Chains A and B, each alone.
Chain A
Amino acid sequence: MAIQTKDIYKIAAHHRFQWEKAQDCYVILFPEGMVKLNGSAGEVLNLVNGESTVESIIEALSKKFIDVPNLAKDIEGMIELALDKAWIEKVN
């Protein structure tokens, strides 16, 4: 699924995104399932809040991870994956 830089997404209905202290990572919880997110996936989904555009998520993470090459492409890839898995849904 192709995404646009002006798109805004939120965590999908019936899904919950939260930090798990015992696991030391972000997770997505939903009926009958739980996905542990690796560090970068967690950072991206933490900014998927129903208000920020894809563009602004890329901008925010670019400031945080200055030396990472192809960051924008990775972030878009992560959002596409989350959309494909139905963890997030489009707001606008």
Chain B
Amino acid sequence: MEIDKKNNGVSASTTATQPLWLLAEITYQCPLQCAFCYNPTDFDKHTQNELDTESWIKVLREARDLGAAQLGISGGEPLLRKDIEEIVTEASSLGYYSNLITSGAGMNEKRIDALKDGGLDHIQLSMHDITEEINNFITNTKTFKLKQKIAAMIKDRGYPMVLNVVLHRYNIDHIQEILEMAEGLGADYIELANTQYYGWSLVNRDQLMPKKEQVLHAEKVTNEYRKRVGNKMKIFFVVPDYYDDRPKKCMNGWGEVFMIVTANGDVLPCHSARVIPNLEFPNVNDTGLKGAWYDSPAFNKFRGDDWMKEPCRSCSEKENDLGGCRCQALLLSGDAESADPVCTKSPNRHLIDQAIKDTENPGVEAKPIMFRSNKNSKKISDGEEKERLAKFHATP
């Protein structure tokens, strides 16, 4: 579907297909404090103005009308909200395929049954390692046993078992054992997601980023395991883009498939879009989702390829990756319209090469991890920790 050419500095060759995927980041509160969380580091300022149940139900209806069929209910930890059952029931009656993305904290027998009765289609549970030590370290909480218990509960209730394991230098060498654990738990799907560096993970990049040989080893083990296990357990390996020479086609294109509504009602084309300055994102308290998706300057800004600069503009591969990730371009180079620095054709590729080099330098990771806590978020919002952020962020 073509939309009208807008004369507001917005790309003219927009595609504006329908949103197929709605991610509801229903709260930023979370009992876990994962060092790799992609949530914004300043989430603390959005914890007081969360949308109420009625607003979420309106969001679900409008997105469904626009074409969204997959629904992710995420956070923070969504189970901290008492109205998840109500929201799931509405989603089911609207015909969504609904997914609760959870750490397991807040789940119990009563709730998992109520969610099943409400029509929840599947649960994606985060797992961290085969060892209690690493699990508890990286989440800064004692949650290892809880996760094992919730995994069994998910299986017992007949949900498809989808495990998500974020990979970083502390657990990536345990990949064989992690896959064995998943198979043992009866997982139908496992997503091995190499850390992408946004939000808290970018702040902790030195501490989290694995070395190249660790990544190559993990990929090899995963491929062998996949061959053996076949369709019985589907294994997704999300590649770490820093170790690639072309960027990822981020979100499958800005404003093409994904629509995210945050805890405070901002409507975003990707999780971290708010890092881009001078882009005003629509909010469901002011506007409907249809207007947000089709007409808002923010959603149209990076649709198509009219916004591209060189080397992307004349690149023969631009359709493959659409210039990569706008947020990563902004965060690392200071310019959201520049090529993703991951691309070896980017004039900023040296920033990635330096980060890779730093993984070999034991002195670089010596700083303590900054865990995702309300206290640390407040610190960052208040402008403390500027020096630490400046190392990674090109913009002030």
Given A14-B160, A18-B95, A86-B231; A29-B69 close (CB under 8 Å): yes
**Residues from chain A with Cβ under 8 Å of B140 in the complex:** none
Given contacts A16-B97, A16-B121, A18-B95, contact A34 B67 (CB under 8 A): no
Q: Which of A20-28, A50-58, A73-81 contacts B (4 or more CB under 8 A)?
A: A20-28
Contact B67 A29 (CB under 8 A): no
When the two chains form their complex, are residues A31 and B162 in contact, meaning their CB atoms are under 8 A apart?
yes
Q: Which 8 pairs across A and B sit closest by C-beta, in order of nearness?
A: A22-B67, A29-B97, A14-B160, A31-B122, A31-B162, A31-B160, A86-B231, A31-B189
Query: A14 vs B95: C-alpha distance in the bound complex, in angstroms?
Result: 15
| Closest chain A residue to B158, Cβ basis | A13
A22 to B65, Cβ gap below 8 A? Answer: yes
Chain B: which residue is nearest A23 at the CB level?
B67
Residues of B within 8 A of A29 (CB): 69-70, 97, 121
Given A14-B188, A16-B121, A22-B18, residue A32 in contact with residue B69 (CB < 8 A):
no
Count of interface residues, chain B, beta-carbon cutoff 8 Å: 21
Chain A residues closer than 8 Å to B97, beta-carbon distance? 16, 29-30, 34
Minimum Cβ distance to chain B for residue A73 (Å)? 25
Give the docked Cα–Cα distance between A46 and B236 (Å).
29
Which residues from chain B contact A86 at a C-beta distance below 8 Å? 231
Closest A residue to B159 by beta carbon equals: A14
Other than the known A29-B97, A31-B188, A32-B189, what 13 A-B pairs have Cβ atoms closer than 8 Å? A14-B121, A14-B188, A22-B65, A22-B67, A27-B69, A29-B69, A30-B97, A30-B160, A32-B162, A32-B236, A34-B20, A34-B70, A86-B231
Specify the chain B residue showing the minimal Cβ separation from A16: B97
The CA-CA distance from A32 to B163 in the complex, in Å, is 11
> Which of A16, A18, A20 is close to B67, meaning CB atoms less than 8 Å apart?
A20
Complex interface: chain B residues within 8 A of A14 (CB): 121-122, 160, 188
Q: Which residue in chain A gives the minimum CB-CB distance to B97?
A: A29
CA of A30 to CA of B70 in the docked complex: distance in angstroms?
9
- Complex formed: what's the CA distance from A31 to B122 in Å? 7
When distances are taken between beta carbons in the complex, the residues of chain B under 8 Å from A13 are 160
Residues from chain A with Cβ under 8 Å of B207 in the complex: none
Contact (A31, B65) CB under 8 Å given A16-B121, A86-B231: no
CA distance A16 to B18 in the complex (A): 20
Does B33 interact with chain A (Cβ within 8 Å)? no
Q: Cβ of A22: which chain B residues have Cβ within 8 Å of it?
A: 18, 65-67
Chain B residues within an 8 Å CB radius of A20:
67, 69
CB-contacts of A1-19 with B (<8 A): 13-14, 16, 18
Q: How far apart sit A13 and B189, CA to CA, in the bound complex (Å)?
A: 13
Cβ of B124 under 8 Å from chain A: yes
Q: Compute how far the CA of A23 lies from the CA of B66 in the bound complex, rounded to whole angstroms.
A: 9
**B191 is an interface residue with CB less than 8 A from chain A:** yes
- Tell me the nearest residue of chain B to A20, going by C-beta: B69
Residues from chain B with Cβ under 8 Å of A30 in the complex:
97, 160
Give 1 or 0 for each of B63-80: 1 = CB within 8 Å of chain A CB: 001110110000000000
Given A14-B160, A18-B95, A34 and B189 contact (CB-CB distance below 8 Å): no
